[in-house]
Structure 1
């Protein structure tokens, strides 16, 4: 698969393969393609370095909620992690390490953003236009932009009048000293529960505006001991075994989300015990008790979130925000809160896949229009009407129970097979059959309708219309089974 038939095309092909994004998905895809002999590839990255969300999310307390031994590539798993759950800086360093080890930096163009990608029907090529006007072409286009790359900002009326600094957790302003200041935190998602305890240590007052409470369970985190580091280095099989143990334990959790929701009782007990133990004030405890089934929204892990909210300098406000003025915020009860800084912990536009890029497929078909009722793709990877386009971490491949890197590696293996088929069969294009995509997505949505995610709450898993476009409703090993072998009759082929 070293050439992808570049020389057979009537117009110049800039690259055989172009990958958009240099986070875990893009890096893993490039590493595996290089192992296959594919060297004429380009990664386009809008940031200044590899890393994706782990480069961007530098807020205080940023860390992973999947154990380090599983939150790593299977082919690069023997890494000297410092603790059970790695923090942002260490994960970012791991990604940089992988990029250096596998000689990826020379393939990456940083500080470059894609404005548009258009499929050229006659030559069977993708034409990619950057925001700086540069145009390149490729045989196969792979998107690895992730689901957590576009910060979601709440529509706060009057925010332009606010005289103090305001920023999103994913765009943290490290120049802003919060010491002694009154800080408004809008949102209580996965990022907020990590940075709120950190800023509460220095801020004069933290006012947490909570739309809905989160289920927060203990995080079994700790640093690895010297003896453990020695054992992991001298006997690397112990890390492999620990990875297998973590995978099996996490995989069992999917039952609580899907077919055996009574299994969620264990996590409800962990949540209730921690809340009761760490929050003594019954009024505050009531505020922090969710009004939806556990698992309907993302279950969060923290040991210091509730203790931070129990401090005298923090206040939980269960009202929405009606307006912002130059001095602060007015909540929906009419109370005005004077604040110095506003920080958004409001997550990401997770359902707006591949935006703000414009993706145009066969016969001028627009992807945003195709997805107007919610994104969908066959295996979360390919879309009817968009030949030779492959997505990593696409629709309905997110997880609530295990490591997304496991899912990415399943997708990477599948895309490798597709590209090899294009090369071996001398294909102009390959495109998923409409019936195959429809059958797959009908099955996914049917399964989701029986999960806890469809039990009445609104979460970032869903579009405004209520369609769950993000989560995989089953075991990750079942997804791997489905992506293990390319089924040729799932696709329509056009030869050169």
Structure 2
């Protein structure tokens, strides 16, 4: 009996959850090779992931455009060194249009739950979605780390008389012009949105629990001649490789190597002193933790915005709200009409994990109850034929997420090739392989600034482990995880469990 007959649901070889960079990247490569049937499930009504959701004023990428795009797509005709959010959304929509992915997309279709079901010929994933049931031989989670906004616990926030918005749910009709606006947070989104809000608001209060390190952005427009030159694939590829290599040099800072960390610290300090002449404000904006343990931000207009007469920098967190009054931990209170929450995302405990049940009925959230673990940052013991993109230890604090995603795509395609060539029904990484990889991550992380410099969202608060970042260079991630090898996996064939010995390289 086929999986479709057994469940009464439509069946595909691969179900991809999420239509951001990771999901569309895998969909593109699957469509080109034409071997597997697949579907991309997207709960929103458009593609783009975080670049669809985040439309706040000033949103842009802090990785150069030619490195923050697919290497296997024709080079984008980028107008600037750093792409704006709208340009990235357009790039991803063009990917859908030019690669013929529309027929594989199920927009407005949310994954409600997924459950592994063992069968005589191996097993499959039974999916319940808002569009109906679906059966898939392989499940790929491409939901990303920046999909669920995090709202802080602020006393009285639910009864605030003004408007409250998270940067990831921005609305253009918000009361900003001539209003009293509070921004909560001082991370990447705050640094980008504050300059524009400062120009429009009558008064802007910035609630900053922890000031960031900021270095010059140095963005610029490409000339017409440069754009023409970079439309040549070989030239774009050459620039991409150079940008990748240059960015990886920054990893030495995260190991607290000298002079690497001294140079970046001096660069941030010089930028602060050059743009903030007021010594009191400069002191309030000086971080008291080691540089690099939190994200280093790029901006040329954040500090000048804080110098405006209509901007108040409050060096403590927002703790309570009453009617239109916002009170900080310092005790200072401010009248505000609109609160903008630039407070990040639920990254270390992804909500999607509460909807996935593996081989023994265990929830992925339970398996990750002490922090995300994996093998090769892509597969998880107890969850056969499942791959997680941009998940455990698959991000970087200094280089391109797209390069990391492409490394994982190579791994997934190698696994699919192995499944097809070997005839095995399932692939499940062993518990020992997962444990060994986790120990390797912990050992690599121990001396990094992320575990020795401060507390950050990169570290899981339950276990104290570094679970979001790869503790190495982008190129070392590819060397370690860019090729599928079946040796660490259990395979099922004709109801027998064996250890895979073949290599799918």
Q: What interval of TM-score do these two structures reach, taking the shorter chain for normalisation?
A: over 0.9
Which SS does the other structure have where 1:201 is aligned?
helix
Q: Distance in 2 between matches of 1:418 and 1:407?
A: 17
CA contact (8 A) 2:74 2:233 kept: no
Q: Distance in 2 between matches of 1:259 and 1:180?
A: 45
Q: Does residue 301 of the first structure (1) align with residue 310 of the second (2)?
A: no
Give the match for residue 480 of structure 1: 478
Q: Distance in 2 between matches of 1:279 and 1:35?
A: 52
Give the match for residue 500 of structure 2: none
CA contact (8 A) 1:388 1:429 kept: yes
Q: Distance in 1 between matches of 2:339 and 2:425?
A: 52
Give the match for residue 440 of structure 2: 443
Map 1:384-403 → 2, pairs under 5 A: 384-403=381-400
- Aligned CA distance change for structure 1 residues 392 and 307 (closer, same or farther; 3 Å): same
CA contact (8 A) 2:175 2:338 kept: no
Q: Distance in 2 between matches of 1:280 and 1:77?
A: 46
CA contact (8 A) 2:284 2:315 kept: yes
Structure 1 position 354, deviation (Å): 4.9
Which SS does the other structure have where 1:120 is aligned?
strand
CA contact (8 A) 2:162 2:323 kept: yes
Q: Does residue 124 of the first structure (1) align with residue 106 of the second (2)?
A: no
Q: Distance in 1 between matches of 2:98 and 2:164?
A: 39
CA contact (8 A) 1:6 1:16 kept: no
Task: After superposition, give the CA deviation of every residue in 1:44-69 in whole Å (9 maximum; x if it has no partner).
Answer: 00111110000111000000000001
Give the match for residue 30 of structure 2: 33
Which SS does the other structure have where 1:412 is aligned?
helix
Which SS does the other structure have where 1:416 is aligned?
helix
Give the match for residue 453 of structure 1: 450
Q: Distance in 2 between matches of 1:135 and 1:329?
A: 46
Q: 2:186 aligns with which of 182, 185, 188?
A: 188
Structure 1 position 406, deviation (Å): 0.6
Map 1:101-120 → 2, pairs under 5 A: 101-120=98-117
- Aligned CA distance change for structure 1 residues 480 and 413 (closer, same or farther; 3 Å): same
Give the match for residue 325 of structure 1: 322
Q: 1:370 aligns with which of 367, 370, 377?
A: 367
For structure 1, which segment, 154-163 or 347-356, has the greater mean C-alpha deviation from structure 2 after superposition? 347-356
Give the match for residue 58 of structure 1: 55
Structure 1 position 220, deviation (Å): 1.9
Give the match for residue 159 of structure 2: 161
Give unpaired runs (5+ residues) of structure 2. 495-505
Give the match for residue 209 of structure 1: 207
Task: After superposition, give the CA deviation of every residue in 1:401-438 in whole Å (9 maximum; x if it has no partner).
Answer: 11111110110010011111111122221100111111
Structure 1 position 77, deviation (Å): 4.5
Which SS does the other structure have where 2:491 is aligned?
strand
Which SS does the other structure have where 1:42 is aligned?
strand
CA contact (8 A) 2:182 2:205 kept: yes
Which SS does the other structure have where 1:121 is aligned?
strand
Structure 1 position 375, deviation (Å): 0.7
Q: Distance in 2 between matches of 1:67 and 1:380?
A: 25
- Aligned CA distance change for structure 1 residues 11 and 112 (closer, same or farther; 3 Å): closer
CA contact (8 A) 1:21 1:45 kept: yes
Task: After superposition, give the CA deviation of every residue in 1:69-117 in whole Å (9 maximum; x if it has no partner).
Answer: 1111001142100100000000000000111111111101111111111
Structure 1 position 353, deviation (Å): 2.7
For structure 1, which segment, 137-146 or 258-267, has the greater mean C-alpha deviation from structure 2 after superposition? 258-267
Give the match for residue 84 of structure 1: 81
CA contact (8 A) 1:115 1:356 kept: no
- Aligned CA distance change for structure 1 residues 475 and 335 (closer, same or farther; 3 Å): closer
> What TM-score comes out, normalization by structure 2 length?
0.94
Structure 1 position 39, deviation (Å): 5.0
Structure 1 position 270, deviation (Å): 1.2
Structure 1 position 36, deviation (Å): 2.0
CA contact (8 A) 1:161 1:325 kept: yes
Which SS does the other structure have where 1:489 is aligned?
coil
- Aligned CA distance change for structure 1 residues 289 and 222 (closer, same or farther; 3 Å): same
- Aligned CA distance change for structure 1 residues 393 and 56 (closer, same or farther; 3 Å): same
> What TM-score comes out, normalization by structure 1 length?
0.96
Task: After superposition, give the CA deviation of every residue in 1:160-203 in whole Å (9 maximum; x if it has no partner).
Answer: 11111110001002111411111010001100000000110111
Which SS does the other structure have where 1:342 is aligned?
strand
Structure 1 position 267, deviation (Å): 1.3
Q: Distance in 2 between matches of 1:211 and 1:131?
A: 39
Q: Distance in 1 between matches of 2:485 and 2:225?
A: 48
- Aligned CA distance change for structure 1 residues 131 and 156 (closer, same or farther; 3 Å): farther
CA contact (8 A) 2:3 2:135 kept: no
Structure 1 position 6, deviation (Å): 6.9
Structure 1 position 34, deviation (Å): 1.6
Q: 2:97 aligns with which of 100, 113, 134?
A: 100
> 4+ residue stretches of structure 1 with deviation over 6 A?
5-9
Structure 1 position 260, deviation (Å): 2.5
Q: Distance in 2 between matches of 1:404 and 1:261?
A: 26
Q: Does residue 351 of the first structure (1) align with residue 351 of the second (2)?
A: no
Which SS does the other structure have where 2:199 is aligned?
coil
CA contact (8 A) 1:46 1:111 kept: yes
Give the match for residue 265 of structure 1: 262
Structure 1 position 259, deviation (Å): 6.5
Task: After superposition, give the CA deviation of every residue in 1:342-372 in whole Å (9 maximum; x if it has no partner).
Answer: 0000011111135364110012122111111
